[in-house]
Every structure is written in C-alpha cells, then in structure tokens.
A and B are shown apart, each in its own frame.
Chain A
Amino acid sequence: MTQWIAACETDDVDPEDVIPFEHAGNAYAVYRSPDDAFFATDGYCTHERELLCDGLVLGGTIECPKHNGRFDYTSGKALGAPVLVDVRTYATKVEDGTVYIEVP
C-alpha cells in the first residue's frame, strides 16, 4: 500500500534546489527542477549516511554535500564514484500548490 503525503508547498522550494522532508521516521529530499517539475528521493546518499538536502542541485542532478557523489534526481541513477548504488525515487504530484509524494 502506498499513500500520497503532502510534503511541502511549491513555493517552499526554489527552482533548481532541494529541501528535506520527513515522514514516519524516514528522510526524503524534494527537488524542484530548473523547469519547475518536482521530484523526490530518499533523503540519504547511498554512499555514506549523508543528507542530500544539504547538497547542490545543478540542472537535473543532486550532489552529495560530503563526498560529491552525484545522482540524477529524476531517475535516481548514481552518476559515478564514489556513489555506486542508485538512490530510490518516489512519484510526486502537485495539487493546488501542494507537492505530494507517494511513499510506501
């Protein structure tokens, strides 16, 4: 069973940026792309347990703040050393200015 959870308002995230979101003890990262699409991934990098929301968003990528591992946040794909494992992504939708993410 998955459920849609309200994560934030669209204005809470700047274009080409990321904010943290927590639900049921799990950390998520919510992204707004340069062209105003919203995406969500697990909150932590798959390399070491570092919060991705402190990292830099450039175009469609997020860079881990600690060791600069990069992911395509639209697909979760790990883009090379030191990250070897893709980051999990979650579906998002926007309704009435609220960003929802679909979590298990």
Chain B
Amino acid sequence: MTGPGGVVVVGAGECGTGAALALREEGYAEPVTLVGGEPGHPYERPPLSKAVLSGAAGLTPLCTPERLADAGVTHLAGVAATALDVRAHELTLADGRVLGYERLLLATGARARPLPGAHVLRSHADAVALRERLVPGTRVGIVGGGFIGLEVAATAAGLGCAVTVVEAAPRLMGRAVPERLAARAAARHTEAGVDVRCGTAVARLEPGRIVLGDGGAVEVDVVVAGIGSAPETALAEAAGIAVENGIVVDGSFATSAPDVFAAGDCCSFPHPLYDDLRLRLESWRAAQEQGAHAARALLGAAEPYAAVPWFWSDQYDLSLQVAGLPAVTTEEVVRVRPDGAELWFGLDAGRLVAVAGIGVGTAVAKDVRIGEMLIARRATPDPAALADPGVALKPLLRAPSARRVRSGAIA
C-alpha cells in the first residue's frame, strides 16, 4: 500500500466534497483524500445553467480552499481514478499513483448523455464552451425539454438568442413534475419567445439543422442536448461492484464490496418512505445530504437514509420546487394562491407522497417545505384543507402523525 490510508473519496462534487468535510465534523482523525477528475477547486453546479451561463456570476465555490485545508482534506484535483481493487483496498489514479484506503466513498456523480454535434451542460468547462456561443441573435436548438434544457432555454432567451426546444414527449419535464405546473412553465417559455415543440422527435443532427422525426427541420446555429444523464459507474463496474441503474447501495450507502460506499447521483438506494422503492436521484440537495449521511455511515452509523427527495428549477422569474415522488401519486389536489403561485399535492391512499409548487422567486418555498415535512411524517392531510388557499399549511405539522403503515396495509 502506497497511499495515505484512511478514507478516500472519489469525486469532488457536491456529494464527495461535503462527505470529506463531514468526516471531519464527525471527528474522524485519519487521513481524508478527495480525488476529483476536474481541475480546480470544488464548485456548485446549479448556477452553471443560469448565472454562470449568462455571465452574471462566476463559479460559486463549495467551500473556501482554506476550509478544505483547515479540515486536513487532501484534494487531488484534475486526476481521474482509473481502477479500484476492492480486495487489496487500493485505488489507482490516472497519473499512476496508488492510494490505499480503509474505507472508500464513490461519489462519481453522473455524466450528461451525449448527442454527437451538440453541446451538453454538466461541468464548468461545458458552461464556458456554451456561453461563448450564446450571443444575441444566435439560433439555439435545444433537444430535450427537461430541467437542463429548459434552464438553458431561459438563459439563452434572456441573452437574446432565438430558442427552439424540441421534446419527444407530449409535455415538458416528464413525470418528475405535475402536468399542470409543467404547462405553466411551458407558457412562460412561450411568452419569452421560445418555440416549444412537444411531441416532436429528433431524427438526427445535420450541420446547421435539427432534422425532426416528421421530416421537418429546425435551422440552428447551436444545438444543446438536455437528454438526461447516466450514472458514472465505470470504475465500480470494473471493480465487480453491483450496478443496476447506478451503483447499488443499501440504506446506509454501502455497496456490494466491503468498505466501499457510494452516494449521490451515481447510486441507487432503497427509500423507506416509498416501500423501499429504489431511487436514483440527480439533485443538488440529495447529493449534499447523501454525502453527509454516507460520511456518518462510513464511520459506523447505521440509521437508514430517509430524506424526502427534493429539487428546484429556476426558469426566468419562476421557480419550481418539487418534494417527494409525483410519479407514485394516485390523487391530486391543487391550491391556487391569491398571489398567483400554484401548489400541487399528490396523495396515495390518503397519504401525502409529493408536493410541488411554481411561483415567482421563492414564493412557493415555504409551502413546499412544509409539504416536504408532512411527507416525511407520512401525514394524511384533509384534501379540502390542502386545496383551500385560506387554510395555513403550517398548523398541519402539529396534527398527529399518521400511523407508520405502508400504503395498502391494514391500519
């Protein structure tokens, strides 16, 4: 063994960096090494599609360089991990170094699904490359009406580009966002001059145009693909670790290999709030929470991860927030507030399982947060109260929690 021992974290994004710092906060005193394939200091990804892409702001560091140094975290930047030997407890890096470890955390994230001829947006380098192309009057074609595509559309429209969004599904943002709220976002894009084409397949890209499935074409100067991401599992797979829609972990982020954990976008985990349904989340907050949770698990804590899935998307002046899983909803309730903000509640067998909201700025944040807490408590709120904008949501938190039964079970 030639490396430092202790804990090695692979991936210096939100999850891995947070985990490295959390190890110290938990009192871990052995070496902590953070290995990241990207050059430079760890940074936040959410602004890449918004303020960084528009040029309004630079990178937001995840923490100060001093904080990493003060925590005694050794950050190896710009060097990829190339091989993992789980039996020998050794990680090989692209520069030939071999790091031994007691425990290893894979926080390798995800990568944007590529479309040859199109830009993608995942890293700072991606954002810089795309930003250079977004000058006023540029015709921008966006393949995929999901979060990344729509945030780029909003930013590009704001920069004076002529934007077309092509989405194969009948509506934007798929099953992650309730239809009503997706329609509100779509209307806002149209109002901003974006040509939103749902139910439109892409046949292929040709220089200067997107050829559509129906034989038509969109003339473009730049194409951006926002067609989802794939978990970064190559290192784990080659090491013989179980992978299925991400690195398979248990409720404490332990993989199938001894002393190897995985967290963040790269892993799929069972969620106790949803009958241990396996989820793989691609969200900033999940990455952050899972990194901190995995750090505690690495040190022996056994409590399973049960945080409610949550994400947000900013498009123009609108912010969308979603907590829970809209896809498992069987009953929907809508609340339209006097300020125009809309909330959507999803129930299953009377239990609140999802909440979403759309409004200007942070207008829906408080209500979505309360909804998230109700979901965590397995609350069974009165649908009429949820629908009535005159009924404050916060007092619902004081109602007795629902009995801890699984949906469908006899209470």
Contacts and interface: CB of A to CB of B under 8 A. Distances in A.
Answer yes or no: are A and B bound together in one complex. yes
Contacts of A84: 63-64, 67
B312 A55 contact: no
A56 B362 CA distance: 11
Contacts of B285: 67-68
A81 B288 contact: yes
Nearest to B361: A54
A63 B369 contact: yes
Interface string A39-52: 00000000010110
Interface in A19-77: 48, 50-51, 54-56, 63, 65-68
A81 B292 contact: yes
Contacts of B362: 50-51, 54-55, 65-66
Interface string B350-391: 000000000001110110011000000000000000000000
B312 A56 contact: no
Contacts of B67: 84
B229 interface: no
Given A54-B362, A54-B363, A68 B369 contact: yes
B92 interface: no
A48 to B, nearest CB: 7
A63 B288 CA distance: 16
Contacts of A50: 362
Given A48-B60, A66-B362, A66-B365, A56 B370 contact: yes
Interface in B278-315: 284-285, 288, 292, 312
B270 interface: no
A82 B288 CA distance: 8
Contacts of A63: 369
B36 interface: no
Interface string B65-109: 001000000000000000000000000000000000000000000
B365 A55 contact: yes
B18 interface: yes
Contacts of B288: 81-82
B393 to A, nearest CB: 10
B173 to A, nearest CB: 19
Given A66-B312, A84-B63, A84-B67, A55 B366 contact: yes
B60 A54 contact: no
A97 B185 CA distance: 43
A84 B17 CA distance: 14
A60 B143 CA distance: 46
B340 to A, nearest CB: 15
Given A54-B361, A81-B288, A65 B60 contact: no
Nearest to A85: B64
Contact of A56 (B21, B292, B369): B369
A65 B292 contact: no
A15 to B, nearest CB: 11
Contacts of B363: 54
Nearest to A48: B60
A67 B67 CA distance: 20
A49 to B, nearest CB: 10
Nearest to B285: A68
A81 B64 CA distance: 12
Contacts of B44: 82
Contacts of A51: 361-362
B63 A65 contact: no
Nearest to B312: A66
Contacts of A16: 394
A82 B285 CA distance: 9
B4 to A, nearest CB: 24
Nearest to B63: A84
A103 to B, nearest CB: 24
Given A48-B60, A68-B285, A84-B63, A54 B366 contact: yes
A30 to B, nearest CB: 16
26 contacts: A16-B394, A48-B60, A50-B362, A51-B361, A54-B361, A54-B362, A54-B365, A55-B362, A55-B365, A55-B366, A56-B366, A56-B369, A56-B370, A65-B365, A65-B366, A65-B369, A66-B312, A66-B319, A66-B365, A67-B284, A67-B285, A81-B18, A81-B21, A81-B288, A84-B64, A84-B67
Interface of A: 16, 48, 50-51, 54-56, 63, 65-68, 81-82, 84
Given A55-B362, A55-B369, 13 more contacts: A50-B362, A51-B361, A56-B369, A63-B369, A65-B362, A65-B366, A67-B285, A81-B18, A81-B292, A82-B44, A82-B288, A84-B64, A84-B67
Closest 4 CB pairs of A and B: A65-B365, A65-B362, A54-B362, A56-B369
